[in-house]
A and B are shown apart, each in its own frame.
Chain A
Amino acid sequence: MNTSEIAGVIAQYGSMDSTRDAILTLREAGFEDLEIYSPIPAPDLEEAMGIYHSPVRLWALIGGITGCTLGFLLPAGASLAYPLVTQGKPIVSLPPFIVVMFELTVLLTGIFSLFAMLVHARKPKLKLAPSYRREFSVDRWGIFVPADPGRRAEAERVLGETAALSLEVTA
């Protein structure tokens, strides 16, 4: 959702529980496209929003498999390109290569996880959303309900029935 161009209502909450209840109320009332802000990790709110999966897991797996494959191809290829027998071991000797395979598996899983997180969370972002408030990184939870003028009153009414500490209408 691009909240930079949408008008709506911002509600602030003082706890995770009250925010979760508000999300459920809003979704029951037919408001699905919500932006939720939380100062702390929010598994309860993810559940309330119906978000259960993240594609980061797939990217982590792809990174791991890529790293493991590279971790074999690099030492095997290098050893074949410069076939010097050392310590009487075969040119392509798997046991020492397992260390490189393991390290590159870990390395690429980590790098892929980081970039997947950034890409899917749409980071880096130069400007904060207009619906973002400084309090959302301190001690407040926020719900932004994008609503055109026709539905704004209804959004305000539904939010007014929740435990919102404040309501703010953005044009």
Chain B
Amino acid sequence: MPGRTPTDGGDGLMATLANRIDSRLRRGNPLPTLADANEDISRPILVPSWRYAALLSVVIAGVLLGGAAWAWQIYRGIGVAGINHPVGWGLYITLFVFWVGIAHSGTLISAILYLFRSGWRTTINRAAEAMTIFAVMTAGLFPLIHLGRVWYAYWLFPYPSQRMIWPDFRSPLVLDVFAVSTYFTVSLIFWYTGLIPDLAALRDRFRGWKSKLYGTLSLGWQGTVREWVHYRRAYLYLAGISTPLVLSVHSVVSWDFALSIVPGWHSTIFAPYFVAGAIFSGVAMVITLMVGLRFAFGLEAYLTEYHFENMAKLLLLTSLIVGYAYAVEYFLAYYSADPIEQESFLWRARGAYQGPFWIMVFCNVVVPATLWFRKIRRSIPALFVISIFVNIGMFYERFVIIVTSLAHEYVPSGWGLYTPSWVEIAILIGAFCWFYMWFLIFAKLLPTISIAEVKEHLEHGKEHGHAEAHAGHPGEYE
């Protein structure tokens, strides 16, 4: 947003605005104004509705269920979970990897597309960034849950102690602590920085306690040129550092597996394979959430088929990369001439976990292939259904990678199966509810679309002519 020059793209938003202008012309109101954007986006904020309250109650009940299951596990010990020898990493680590992956597309949309000056990100970046933060908050719970004795979690951090013991910095598990905590902190800073001007707009829109609340959160922002100049710089640098960060985080997570000698894990393709999968699953989750927001808050004028088609293209691209990675894994197993590796991969497709494996292939490769058709890419109900399939498929992908590899290692005496216990299932439900709870709270308290960015594009369209803006222009870097 900040740092954008008047010749930037913004064709996506302009397509949106073209529809909006047309509808306003029909109503005898010639042009949308900056005040319209202010009003349209901030209208749902802090407005009570029984539907919202009902939905929030359901997810809070889910969170309580998950919390109760975790409390039971802490009380009785980790034995109440299904993880045991030889499958020591089960649903908890599956969900950790899944949720870290979900987080990734938020940063992709907010940072990488910002640096590439992709105008269509404008209306979706705020919610995608929020999704990133809530997904990392969800992911961060699972190493703690998996630890069993959660009160020893601080052992992961390097600190001087009387025992003079330090963590092993050669272990990817310790590197993961740095990667995930850095990712969370930087994503939070990036999101908050983008929110500051919008919080000031809300402060000025409301009166009374609401105005005070948003006034405090906006830190007294006034939009002076002297503020904007520092703001734009900070935002640009945050986007710049978030870009390699997003690629590094899932790479480090993948090394939790790849640095071991477990067949099925010990692979050099894991980092790009995991990053592509992460973006794939994250884009699917953005689509799922955006469809919900669009209908719930009447944002059809801002979240158009154009935006969903672009997300569908990203989904198709990453699906192809993920499908290619599945094939390459099998080729590498064949080409390695290592019978253990070959057996491991054959067992994935034909053994006890063939169900999850084929669900994974169907959901992640077959279903997204329908996106080759433009009609499907522009159909929001179809995209919603496909995004749900991809969410399910990516969950199973993490499960297949983690569980099938551990269940079928080198010697038959070390083989064994894993079934999640009710505690793990309850925590799984709780985790999804935890994520949606935060997203629902966000959607009611903060603008789900960046007001300042939308106004920037409106102003650009007004000054440079609608037709010109609609065509879009290549952006320029500062």
- Indicate with 1 or 0, residue by residue over B156-192, a CB within 8 angstroms of chain A CB atoms: 0010000011111111100100110010011001101
CA distance A37 to B227 in the complex (A): 9
Contacts of A149 in B (CB 8 A): none
Instruction: Known A84-B168, A110-B241, A138-B201; judge A117-B228 contact (CB<8 A).
Output: no
* Stretch touching chain B among A24-32, A75-83, A151-159: A75-83
**Is B400 in contact with chain A by the CB < 8 A criterion?**
no
Q: Which of A41-81 contact B (CB under 8 A)?
A: 41-46, 49, 51, 54-57, 60, 64, 74-75, 78-79, 81
CA distance A94 to B34 in the complex (A): 53
Contacts of A120 in B (CB 8 A): 230
Checking B33, B38, B219, B459 against A124 with a beta-carbon cut-off of 8 angstroms, the contacting residue is B219
Residue pair A134, B189 in contact (C-beta under 8 Å): no
Question: How many residues of B are in contact with the other chain, CB < 8 A?
Answer: 67
Checking A17, A96, A139 against B175 with a beta-carbon cut-off of 8 angstroms, the contacting residue is A96
Instruction: Known A43-B5, A103-B178; judge A114-B230 contact (CB<8 A).
Output: no
Question: How many residues of A are in contact with the other chain, CB < 8 A?
Answer: 67
Residue pair A104, B168 in contact (C-beta under 8 Å): no
Contacts of B252 in A (CB 8 A): 99
**Is A118 in contact with chain B by the CB < 8 A criterion?**
yes
Residue pair A117, B35 in contact (C-beta under 8 Å): no
Checking B165, B186, B197, B232 against A43 with a beta-carbon cut-off of 8 angstroms, the contacting residue is B232
Checking B165, B179, B222, B248 against A129 with a beta-carbon cut-off of 8 angstroms, the contacting residue is B222
Contacts of A51 in B (CB 8 A): 225-226, 229
Closest to A55 in B: B230
Whole-angstrom distance between the Cβ of B30 and the nearest chain A Cβ: 15
Residue pair A110, B220 in contact (C-beta under 8 Å): no
Interface of B is mostly: helix
Residue pair A75, B169 in contact (C-beta under 8 Å): yes
CA distance A84 to B164 in the complex (A): 12
Residue pair A81, B463 in contact (C-beta under 8 Å): no
A: residues with CB less than 8 A from B are 15-17, 35-46, 49, 51, 54-57, 60, 64, 74-75, 78-79, 81-82, 84, 86-87, 89, 93, 96-97, 99-100, 102-107, 109-111, 113-114, 116-118, 120-121, 123-129, 132, 134, 136-139
Task: Known A-B contacts: A37-B222, A103-B248. Give 11 more (CB < 8 A).
Answer: A38-B228, A40-B197, A40-B459, A42-B228, A79-B169, A82-B165, A82-B166, A114-B193, A118-B219, A128-B222, A134-B204
A-B contact pairs, 12 of them (CB 8 A): A37-B222, A39-B223, A56-B233, A75-B158, A78-B169, A81-B164, A113-B234, A114-B238, A121-B227, A129-B222, A137-B223, A139-B34
